[in-house]
Structure 1
């Protein structure tokens, strides 16, 4: 996960990452994934002090960020240009965002603003459990429409599955229905490996079977002694403290078209969200992937 190699100095890395989501390894010819973080992980800190929090994340070594539909909007009370400049000042590239539910005209405006500053993705973060599989088919149709809007503006649309798409509805898995019902030219997916693992799905089977569809990822680990399904506390822990082999996950992901990797912790064990963010950034540096 560490994009730095011995032939790069930090100044060169900062210059290149401002224009590109990944740095090519000159030895292997492959791109190394950047360290990214979903800002929702540090939402309380962002709400109190967005600029100060971005500064801290940049100092930790994060390079890419994914925003979300906060009360201040995805640009945190700033214009799109202002927010991009602030983030870039701390070495952070705003790659993507989750967004709040909105009409297609509102979505079109958001896509225009995102494209104007070079963002790559708008991601639907939540649909919620549904009683009929037919509802997920209508969601797929809506995703295709939003994907066409994104394509018109020069960016991509994505969907982030939580736990419920891996639970059967009318004898089918919603994740399968959504993959089959969306146009691969218009709609990508953001795998949350935590949910795939805790729901008993095989993340590698999905990544390889649907090569090129899972372009983004959220990463948090699963406790070795997993809590029962439906437990009050999620079985989440910091990267490297659970059962997931993240070196394997990143390699398989990249082999099959995955480009963006964001840390998103949800449970903090005797630490603050920022302390967890720093710990996860350190873990990714220590992976020393040679892809």
Structure 2
């Protein structure tokens, strides 16, 4: 059993990162992070790399859309998706090892045809990434686990259709929101589980990525059984702090989550 490195998903600070990229990364380094998970990096890979070097950071994992080639719908319009070759070139610039698809909308998780499509597209990207010395992975929300196909979560069917080289990053909060048994889930997929997103908050009925909740909490302060899930996740490479939204000072929320994970490591 290995102790995972503590990381943080840069989406958590996307507003601060846009306003002051270097200063924001410096604040993460001051908290104690040495590893981050890159987000929206293609347009600014060189600048991020310079800041990473300045603050002693690295980004071995990175998020980029790989399956939805046509773009991602948002309330403000369609989020353009860069060509995969540009994504992989930028990931190489950053020094990443794994590029993880963070989101396929619920309308493309409706049936087995959708699941097969998603797996086929990610498998094709895995072949493409390998030419750059990279691997690819997938990050879940709640809808992949909530959809049932012949009595099984669509996520499980999806994983079976993936090439063995494709890795997983399980978001523990969203999996719990879908009603999954986290300990059983991480054990079931331990052979390809590379990272988890460590996220917390109340687990009330109706929580969904279709409408992001506004009451997420620092890790260890909500209803998600994070400690049990982390203890069950043997040989995990990265435990990644993330907030979809946080009402307080986001850097303080991240700091509290970092402290939770350092206590978990000390107790293991």
State if a TM-score over 0.5 links the two structures.
yes
Across the aligned residues of Structure 1 and Structure 2, the Cα RMSD in angstroms comes to 2.4
- SS of the residue corresponding to residue 222 of structure 1 reads coil
1:157 aligns with 2:136: yes
Mapped partners of 2:193, 2:60: distance in 1: 15
Match of 1:83 among 48, 65, 76: 48
Match of 2:112 among 116, 133, 156: 133
1:18 aligns with none
1:121 aligns with 2:98: yes
Do the aligned partners of residues 189 and 55 (structure 1) sit closer, same or farther apart at CA in structure 2, a change above 3 Å counting?
Answer: same
CA displacement at 1:287 relative to structure 2? 3.0
Mapped partners of 1:123, 1:92: distance in 2: 19
TM-score by structure 1 length? Answer: 0.77
CA displacement at 1:175 relative to structure 2? 0.3
Match of 1:249 among 229, 233, 252: 229
Mapped partners of 1:236, 1:195: distance in 2: 11
Mapped partners of 1:128, 1:44: distance in 2: 23
Do the aligned partners of residues 196 and 76 (structure 1) sit closer, same or farther apart at CA in structure 2, a change above 3 Å counting?
Answer: same
Which range moves more in the overlay, 92-101 or 187-196?
92-101
**Are the counterparts in 1 of residues 144 and 155 from structure 2 also a CA contact under 8 Å?**
yes
Do the aligned partners of residues 267 and 230 (structure 1) sit closer, same or farther apart at CA in structure 2, a change above 3 Å counting?
Answer: same
Mapped partners of 2:243, 2:154: distance in 1: 24
TM-score by structure 2 length? Answer: 0.83
CA displacement at 1:49 relative to structure 2? 0.6
Do the aligned partners of residues 62 and 87 (structure 1) sit closer, same or farther apart at CA in structure 2, a change above 3 Å counting?
Answer: same
**1:53-72 map, 5 Å:** 53-69=24-40
Match of 2:62 among 97, 105, 108: 97
Mapped partners of 1:113, 1:230: distance in 2: 34
Alignment size in residue pairs? 250
Segments of structure 2 that go 5 or more residues without pairing to the other structure are: 71-80
**Are the counterparts in 2 of residues 247 and 289 from structure 1 also a CA contact under 8 Å?**
no
Tell me which structure has the larger Cα radius of gyration. Answer: 1
Mapped partners of 1:283, 1:230: distance in 2: 24
Segments of structure 1 that go 5 or more residues without pairing to the other structure are: 1-29
